[in-house]
């Protein structure tokens, strides 16, 4: 499913809660962005890899014992964004690398 730039704040009745085969399927260009390159990140039942723009570049991590180390990214889930924050991708136990002043392509949507 392609969003064609039509992104929504908040879930709709059709937004899947989990989806085990969701993958990055839309990208956009960024300039001078703070990004994270992730190998085998995890969000809502799906494992995927890609370069993501950080939503909170100064303090990107959310770390709790219950949910593990996560990073907030400016990406959508089936063309939707959680209403109160950006998605928090699980990076605990994965390979990742932070980069500042990145110019290039980032993942903008995860879906099918």
Taking alpha carbons only, the member of 81, 72, 71 closest to residue 3 is 81
Q: What is the average pLDDT value for the chain, to the nearest integer? A: 92
Per-residue pLDDT at 2: 80
For 51, counting Cβ atoms within 10 Å of its Cβ (0-12 exposed, 13-18 middle, 19+ buried), the class is buried
Q: What is the pTM of this model?
A: 0.92
Taking alpha carbons only, the member of 38, 28, 36, 45 closest to residue 111 is 45
CA 29 to each of CA 32, 94, 96, 106: distance values in angstroms, whole numbers, following the listed order: 10, 25, 20, 6
Per-residue pLDDT at 45: 95
Q: Please, what sign has the CA dihedral across residues 10, 106, 17, 55?
A: negative
**Quick check: 32 and 103 in contact, CB under 8 A?**
yes
Is the per-residue pLDDT at 37 higher than 70? yes
Predicted confidence (pLDDT) per residue in 40-95, tens digit:
999 999 999 999 999 988 887 776 666 788 999 999 999 999 988 899 999 999 99
Predicted confidence (pLDDT) per residue in 15-34, tens digit:
999 999 999 999 999 999 99
Overall average pLDDT of the 101-111 stretch: 97
Give CA 13 to chain center in angstroms: 21
**Quick check: 86 and 80 in contact, CB under 8 A?**
no
């Amino acid at each position: 499913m392609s969003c064609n730039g039509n992104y929504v704040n908040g879930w709709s009745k059709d937004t899947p809660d989990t989806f085990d085969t969701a993958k990055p399927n839309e990208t956009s260009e960024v300039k001078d962005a703070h990004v994270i390159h992730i190998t085998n990140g995890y969000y809502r039942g799906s494992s995927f890899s890609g370069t993501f723009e950080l939503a909170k570049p100064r303090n990107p991590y959310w770390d709790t014992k219950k949910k593990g180390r996560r990073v907030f990214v400016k990406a959508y889930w089936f063309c939707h964004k959680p209403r109160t924050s950006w998605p928090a991708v699980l990076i605990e136990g994965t390979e990742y690398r932070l980069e500042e002043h990145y110019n290039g392509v980032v993942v903008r949507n995860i879906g099918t």
